[in-house]
Amino acid sequence: MMKVTEPPKPLFQLRQLIYDTKYRSLTVQAIAMCLLVLFFSWLVNNTIQNLTALGKDFDFGFLTNIAGYDINQRLIEYSSTSTHGRAALVGILNTLLVAVLGCALATMIGIVAGVLRLSKNWIIARLMTIYVEGFRNVPLLLWILIIFAVMTESTPGPRDFRAGGSASMMLFDSVAISNRGVYIPFPVWGEGSGILIFVFLLSLISVWIFKRIAASRQQQTGIILPTFWISTGIVIISSIMTFFVLGQPVSLDYPTLGGFNFRGGLQLRNSLIALWLALSLYTGAFIAEIVRSGILSVSKGQTEAAYALGLRPNRTMNLVILPQALRVIIPPLISQYLNLTKNSSLAIAVGYMDVRSTLGGITINQTGRELEGMLMLGLFYLLASLVISAVMNIYNNSVKLKGR
Amino acid sequence: MKKLFLSCLSVALLGGIAMAGGHEKGTLAAVKERGKLVCGSNTGLVGFAAPDASGNWQGFDVDMCRAVAAAVLGDPSAVEYVPLTTGTRFTALASGEVDMLSRNTTWTFSRDVDLKFEFTGVNYYDGQGFMVPKSLGVTSATELDGATVCIQTGTTTELNLADFFRVNGMNYEPVPVETNSEAQQQYLANACDVYTTDASGLAATRASFENPGDHVVLPEIISKEPLGPLVRHGDHEWGDVVRWSLNAMVAAEEYGVTSQNVAEMAKGTNNPEINRLLGSEGNLGEMLGLSPDWARNIISTVGNYGESFERNIGSSTPIGLARGLNAQWTDGGLLYSPPFR
User: In angstroms, rounded to a whole number, what is the distance separating the alpha carbons of residues A168 and A174?
Assistant: 10
Q: How far is A153 from chain B (nearest CA, A)?
A: 6
| Res. B12: pLDDT tops 60 | no
Total number of domains constituting chain B:
2
Contact indicator for A107, A281 with CB cutoff of 8 Å: no
At A2, the pLDDT band (50, 70, 90 cuts) reads: low
Q: How far is B260 from chain A (nearest CA, A)?
A: 43
ipTM: 0.74
| Same-domain status, B75 and B204 | no
User: In angstroms, rounded to a whole number, what is the distance separating the alpha carbons of residues A177 and A161?
Assistant: 10
| Res. B40: pLDDT tops 60 | yes
pLDDT attached to residue A1: 55
Which helix (H) or strand (E) is B158 found in, with range?
helix B156-167
Residue B9 lies in a domain: no
Residue B209 lies in a domain: yes
Residue B282 lies in a domain: yes
| Same-domain status, B295 and B165 | no
Query: SS3 for B256?
Result: coil
Listed in sequence order, the residues at least 6 apart from B168 whose beta carbon sits closer than 8 Å to its beta carbon are B142
User: In angstroms, rounded to a whole number, what is the distance separating the alpha carbons of residues B149 and A254?
Assistant: 24
Residue A208 lies in a domain: no
| Same-domain status, B253 and B301 | yes
Q: Which one of B190, B223, B256 terminates a domain?
A: B223
Query: SS3 for B198?
Result: strand
Search chain B and give the residue with CA nearest A145. B182
| Res. A178: pLDDT tops 90 | no
Listed in sequence order, the residues at least 6 apart from A193 whose beta carbon sits closer than 8 Å to its beta carbon are A246, A249, A250
Higher-pLDDT residue of A251, A210: A210
pLDDT attached to residue B228: 94
- Exposure letters A274-286 (e unless 16+ CB within 10 A, then b): bbbbbbbbbbbbb
Q: How far is A179 from chain B (nearest CA, A)?
A: 5
Q: What is the mean pLDDT of residues A95-100?
A: 94
Tell me the chain A residues in contact with residue B189 when contact means C-beta distances shorter than 8 Å.
Answer: 152-153, 179
Contact indicator for B38, B80 with CB cutoff of 8 Å: yes
| Res. B105: pLDDT tops 80 | yes
Chain A segment 336-355 residues within 8 A of B by beta carbon are: 348-349, 351, 353
pLDDT attached to residue A403: 64
pLDDT attached to residue B2: 52
Which helix (H) or strand (E) is A272 found in, with range?
helix A270-297
- The one-character DSSP state at B328 is B
Q: How many CA atoms lie within 13 A of B99 on its CB side?
A: 31
Residue A369 lies in a domain: yes
Nearest CB among A42, A46, A54 relative to B94 is that of A54
Per 3-state DSSP, what percentage of chain B is helix, strand, and coil (rounded to 5)?
Answer: 45, 20, 35
| Same-domain status, B119 and B232 | yes
Question: How many other C-beta atoms are found inside a 10 Å radius of the C-beta of residue B132?
Answer: 25
Contact indicator for A132, A288 with CB cutoff of 8 Å: yes
Beta bridge partners of B49: B45
| Same-domain status, B177 and B119 | no
At A186, the pLDDT band (50, 70, 90 cuts) reads: confident
**Minimum mean pLDDT among A187-191, B97-101, B128-132, B213-217: which range?**
A187-191
Tell me the chain A residues in contact with residue B145 when contact means C-beta distances shorter than 8 Å.
Answer: 259
Q: Which one of B188, B223, B258 terminates a domain?
A: B223
Residue B121 lies in a domain: yes
What is the bridge-based pairing of β-strands B37-42 and B100-106?
parallel
Query: SS3 for A281?
Result: helix
Residue A133 lies in a domain: yes
**Minimum mean pLDDT among A61-65, A75-79, A135-139, A167-171: which range?**
A167-171
Total number of domains constituting chain A:
1
End-to-end CA distance of chain B: 69
Does A56 touch chain B if contact means CB atoms closer than 8 Å?
Answer: yes
**Minimum mean pLDDT among A251-255, A373-377, B286-290: which range?**
A251-255
User: In angstroms, rounded to a whole number, what is the distance separating the alpha carbons of residues A302 and A321?
Assistant: 7
pLDDT attached to residue B62: 95
| Same-domain status, B58 and B132 | no
| Same-domain status, B136 and B121 | no
| Res. B7: pLDDT tops 60 | no
| Same-domain status, B115 and B65 | yes
| Res. B6: pLDDT tops 90 | no
Question: How many other C-beta atoms are found inside a 10 Å radius of the C-beta of residue A46?
Answer: 13
Q: Find, among B101, B73, B98, the residue nearest to B86 by Cα.
A: B101
User: In angstroms, rounded to a whole number, what is the distance separating the alpha carbons of residues B287 and B266?
Assistant: 19
* Residue pLDDT, tens place only, A26-41: 888 999 999 999 999 9
Higher-pLDDT residue of B306, A173: B306
Domain enclosing residue B289, as ranges: 27-125+226-331
| Same-domain status, B95 and B136 | no
pLDDT attached to residue B132: 93
Q: What is the mean pLDDT of residues A106-121?
A: 91
Q: What is the mean pLDDT of residues B202-208?
A: 90
pLDDT attached to residue A97: 94
| Res. A107: pLDDT tops 50 | yes
Contact indicator for A325, A298 with CB cutoff of 8 Å: yes
Residue B6 lies in a domain: no
Q: What is the CATH number of the domain that holds B202?
A: 3.40.190.10
Q: What is the mean pLDDT of residues B65-82?
A: 94
Residue B207 lies in a domain: yes
What does pLDDT average to over chain B?
88
Residue A372 lies in a domain: yes
Q: What is the largest CA-CA distance in chain A?
A: 123
Residue A330 lies in a domain: yes
Strands of chain B, DSSP E: 37-42, 50-51, 57-58, 79-84, 100-106, 117-119, 124-126, 128-133, 147-152, 172-177, 194-198, 215-217, 225-232
Residue B11 lies in a domain: no
What does pLDDT average to over chain A?
87
Q: What is the CATH number of the domain that holds A111?
A: 1.10.3720.10
8 Å CB contact of B158 and A260: no
8 Å CB contact of B7 and A258: no
Tell me the chain A residues in contact with residue B154 when contact means C-beta distances shorter than 8 Å.
Answer: 361-362, 365-366
Domain enclosing residue A128, as ranges: 84-162+270-399
* Residue pLDDT, tens place only, A298-335: 988 998 999 999 988 888 888 888 888 888 898 899 99
Question: For an interface test with B, which of A23, A70, A272, A346 has the most B Cβ atoms less than 10 Å from its Cβ?
Answer: A70
Q: How far is B167 from chain A (nearest CA, A)?
A: 11
Q: What is the mean pLDDT of residues A21-28?
A: 85
Q: How far is CA B120 from CA A257, B106, B273, B321, in A?
A: 49, 12, 21, 23
Nearest CB among B144, B148, B233 relative to A180 is that of B148
Residue B37 lies in a domain: yes
pLDDT attached to residue A157: 80
What share of chain A in percent tops pLDDT 70?
96
Contact indicator for A16, A23 with CB cutoff of 8 Å: yes
| Same-domain status, B161 and B49 | no
Q: How far is B189 from chain A (nearest CA, A)?
A: 6
* Residue pLDDT, tens place only, A252-302: 788 887 778 787 778 888 899 999 999 999 999 999 999 999 999 998 899
Higher-pLDDT residue of A194, B144: B144
8 Å CB contact of B176 and A353: yes
End-to-end CA distance of chain A: 61
| Same-domain status, B112 and B148 | no
Q: How many CA atoms lie within 13 A of A3 on its CB side?
A: 1
Question: For an interface test with A, which of B114, B194, B195, B230 has the most A Cβ atoms less than 10 Å from its Cβ?
Answer: B114
| Same-domain status, B187 and B100 | no
Q: Which one of B182, B198, B223 terminates a domain?
A: B223
pLDDT attached to residue A56: 74
8 Å CB contact of B193 and A260: yes
Q: What is the mean pLDDT of residues A133-146?
A: 93
At B298, the pLDDT band (50, 70, 90 cuts) reads: very high
Q: Which amino acid is at A295?
A: I
